[in-house]
Structure 1
């Protein structure tokens, strides 16, 4: 069994203090094989917010893979947003793009779908290049055939139907198609502050998008929470954990058949 903790949109500077503290304790108790944070660690990309995020991450046991979100580019320091949009993230947290984790049975590649500036009014929306998708597929193709292949990014590449907000990722559909055809099993994301699981309508239909909720005060009709992902040889279970005000409890579970489990016998 492989266990992954998937968190997103903590928004230090506007975090739910009690939920964030409880999440750290839950992760210590669970000791997952990998903790993933899919962006928006901070609210305004300020140094003190990154310091708080780094301090919190230091409490989390085991390997971690953290990618930036649109809030992790400086909001007020416009010169940094233009010339070094993820410099603060990289100094405090680690590489902005790519991030990788390679372990027995699990291969994970993080890509940055956030941009400091874009040629459109809403810079919070996502963008992914064909090269980012191509390089992720090539790197994951080197993993053993039976490994779970995972991509992490901040923005959902394809819109969540009925979601509380949009991602409008430039290049998102093309990237999702390339990842699905490349045999990626899961694409973990955040941004919309609500958990979800759905299959991509590309490739063999076995690639799934998985979204995590938020641990911030920026709730969008869903309690703060995070995902527990449990991987067996045949299935992937995604358990959305919801904050009750005093503890986390399972709110919804999705079960996904592994790609190899769907293959007919030879």
Structure 2
């Protein structure tokens, strides 16, 4: 079994400082095999904010799979936005925009979906998908394959289709042909778990899609600060959502959902609220 902590949308520059210490302590107690951060480490891609994010990441266990989000691209500095959009991200966070972790049970692959030409939306391109395909093609069927982006490939109910990452259908065809199991994302500041069966009618294939809310930002959009703990025990995956409880001054388990892989892909096994 493998355990992943899935954080997203940290937004240093607009964080609730009261959450940082308890979050670091709890993640250490969980002892994850991998920490995933699915983008928007900063609020406005400023050096001071990236330094704060770097300090936070250094306080968490390793290995880590971290990808940038649209807020990690400068907004107001037009020259930087279009000539060196992720220069500060590379300087303070990581040079690797396609991080990759693999062991004998899981593989976790990051893809950069942040783009200079859009203020909010993201996309992936053919070259990125080809590189991911090359890595997936080397993995055995027993490996649970996990993709990490900032922008989602699928959405909770009541969200506009424009929120889906650009060129998603192209990517999904490749994911299906190479057995990608789980797609982790952020961006929406909403927690969600489901599968891709309704949006992408691909015979014999349905990936598990998991959204993380914002772990630390004051920009909560009506949902409590939260993060996911994902336990992979193929062919089963359990997802616990930890939500901030102000009355406790701590994160606690709010929901637990279970999924199982079959010949038709991943589907919900059960869901309970703790």
The normalised TM-score by structure 1 is: 0.91
Distance in 1 of aligned mates of 2:256 and 2:226: 13
Partner of 1:141: 137
Matched, 1:224 2:225: yes
Partner of 1:252: 255
Instruction: Give the stretch that moved more between structures: 167-176 or 41-50.
Output: 167-176
Instruction: Give the stretch that moved more between structures: 172-181 or 35-44.
Output: 172-181
User: How far apart are residue 116 of structure 1 and its match?
Assistant: 1.5
User: How far apart are residue 144 of structure 1 and its match?
Assistant: 2.4
Partner of 2:209: 209
Equivalent pair of 1:180/1:200 in contact (CA under 8 Å) = no
When residues 71 and 165 of structure 1 are mapped into structure 2, their CA distance, relative to the original with a 3 A threshold, is: farther
- Residue pairs, 1:95-244, within 5 angstroms: 95=95, 97-118=97-118, 123-163=119-159, 167-201=163-197, 202-215=202-215, 216-244=217-245
Partner of 1:18: 18
User: How far apart are residue 178 of structure 1 and its match?
Assistant: 2.4
> RMSD over aligned Cα, in angstroms?
2.1
Q: How many corresponding residue pairs?
A: 259
Structure 2, gaps ≥5 residues long: 267-274
Distance in 1 of aligned mates of 2:263 and 2:33: 21
Instruction: Give the stretch that moved more between structures: 196-205 or 51-60.
Output: 196-205
User: How far apart are residue 170 of structure 1 and its match?
Assistant: 1.8
Partner of 2:6: 6
Equivalent pair of 1:206/1:259 in contact (CA under 8 Å) = no
Partner of 2:269: none
Instruction: Give the stretch that moved more between structures: 14-23 or 150-159.
Output: 14-23
Post-superposition CA distance 1:175-229 (Å, at most 9, x none): 2232133200001000000111111123423411111010211112210010000
Structure 1, gaps ≥5 residues long: none
Partner of 1:71: 71
